[in-house]
Amino acid sequence: MDKLDVQILSHLLNNCRIPDRQIGKEIGISGVAVNSRIQKMIDKKIIEQFALKIEPPVLGYSVLYFVVIGKEIDDILNKIRLVGEPFFVVPCVGGITVCSIVVKDDPAKKMNLAKNLLNDVRVLSIFEAKNPEIRSDLTKTDIEIIDILLKDPRLKIEVIAKKSGFSTKTVTRSLDKLQNDEAIQFTSIYDPKKMGEFIPFAILVGVTSNVKNPLLKLEKKFSSSFLQKPFVHMNQVVLFLYSDNIFKIDDLARKIQDVEGVQSVDLFIPKKINFPQKWVKDTIEQVKRSKRLHLMPEIHS
């Protein structure tokens, strides 16, 4: 991979439906060249799949995050499946695994249950993820379209219309809504080990106050190293970055630590990114059978 490939991958991580021509305009090459590079990354399994990521609270779930060390992934998954379904699982350098699960009912009780199940595992961190900024109001039409997009988020509007039976105007309107929804992301799953000289990594940043001010400072200072847009959780920010030098990563982490409002910095270098979607497919099927026209009133009733 070269720097242009990384820039293309970054665009696809933030929105895999972005047109090739638009990516090319932003990075200074033709749309045809962008398409060729994307296909090459797919052929080389750098890009493993395109995915539709839906924040679990939109579908009525809470999310628990775990950072554990010293156990096989399968063993961890077998334990946490007794609490909820995996949302994502990321084994990292150093024997660390970062994973999250979706849970129903009282998340505090589920968290205590998870702690008991993981009593033979070294748990570095466990918390419930919350993002008060996320708002969503999905209609049954949106859900039908989401169900189709789960199989291929990059489908053309005309194909979606044919599969759904909706007009292209209805599909276009729904797609515009979904792509502007903070709770829904059209993204990509990539293989961190196949990025050549480039090293993707994540930094979990704990802040001392309202997350907005430190986030603005972090974006201003480090956006040139962003691989995808940050994830916000109450008083924590997850930065997704990349570097072409392992020593620069440590230097960058120190600089982030020095930003005003930053309290803690934890560094993770992923080896594999797993993004199970069984929970969302099962939930979508349940929602489709519902008689409600809107999803959110059903969840909060």
Query: Which of 116, 133, 115, 132 is closest to 124 using CA atoms?
Result: 115
Q: In this predicted structure, what is the pLDDT of residue 291?
A: 62
78 compared with 297, residue with greater pLDDT = 78
pLDDT over 70 (residue 292): no
pLDDT above 80 (res 294): no
pLDDT at 134 over 70: no
Has residue 295 got a pLDDT over 60?
no
pLDDT band at 301 (very low <50, low <70, confident <90, very high): very low
Give the DSSP letter of residue 289.
Answer: H
Q: What is the pLDDT of residues 209-230, one digit of tens each?
A: 788 889 999 999 999 999 999 9
How sure is the predictor about 189, in pLDDT bands with cuts at 50, 70 and 90?
Answer: very high
Residue 136 has pLDDT above 80, yes or no: no
For residue 94, pLDDT over 50 is answered with yes
Q: Is the CB of residue 45 less than 8 Å from the CB of residue 191?
A: yes
Which strand (E) or helix (H) includes residue 12? Answer: helix 3-14
Give mean pLDDT, residues 18-37. Answer: 97
300 has a pLDDT exceeding 50 = no
Are 56 and 83 a contacting pair, CB within 8 Å? no
Q: For the residues 34-63, what does the mean pLDDT come to?
A: 94
Cα–Cα distance measured from residue 57 to residue 228, given in angstroms and rounded to the nearest whole number:
21
Q: Which of 4-8, 37-41, 91-95, 295-299 has the lowest mean pLDDT?
A: 295-299
64 neighbors 114 (Cβ within 8 angstroms): yes
Task: Check whether 93 has a pLDDT greater than 90.
Answer: yes
Q: What is the pLDDT of residue 51?
A: 96
Q: Which residue has the higher pLDDT, 249 or 291?
A: 249
Is 105 strand, coil or helix?
A: coil
Span of 33-37, 205-209, 258-262 with lowest mean pLDDT: 205-209
Predicted structure pTM score: 0.89
CA distance 288 to 147: 9
- Spell 32-51 as b/e; 16+ CB within 10 A means b: ebbbebbeebeeeebbbebb
**Residue 143: per-residue pLDDT:** 92
Chain CA centroid to CA 65, Å: 13
Q: What angle do CA 269, 275, 278 make, to 5 degrees?
A: 160
CA 93 – CA 123 distance, rounded (Å): 16
- Given a cut of 70, whether residue 239 has pLDDT beyond it is yes
Three-class SS string for 204-228? EEEECCCCHHHHHHHHHHHHHHEEE
The b-or-e profile of 119-145 (16+ CB within 10 A means b, else e) is: eebeeeeebbbbbeeeebebeebbbbb
Confidence of residue 105 (pLDDT cuts 50, 70, 90): confident
| Confidence check: pLDDT of 132 > 60 | no
For the chain, list the domains and their CATH numbers. Answer: 3-44 (1.10.10.10), 56-129 (3.30.70.260), 140-186+288-300 (1.10.10), 196-268 (3.30.70.1150)
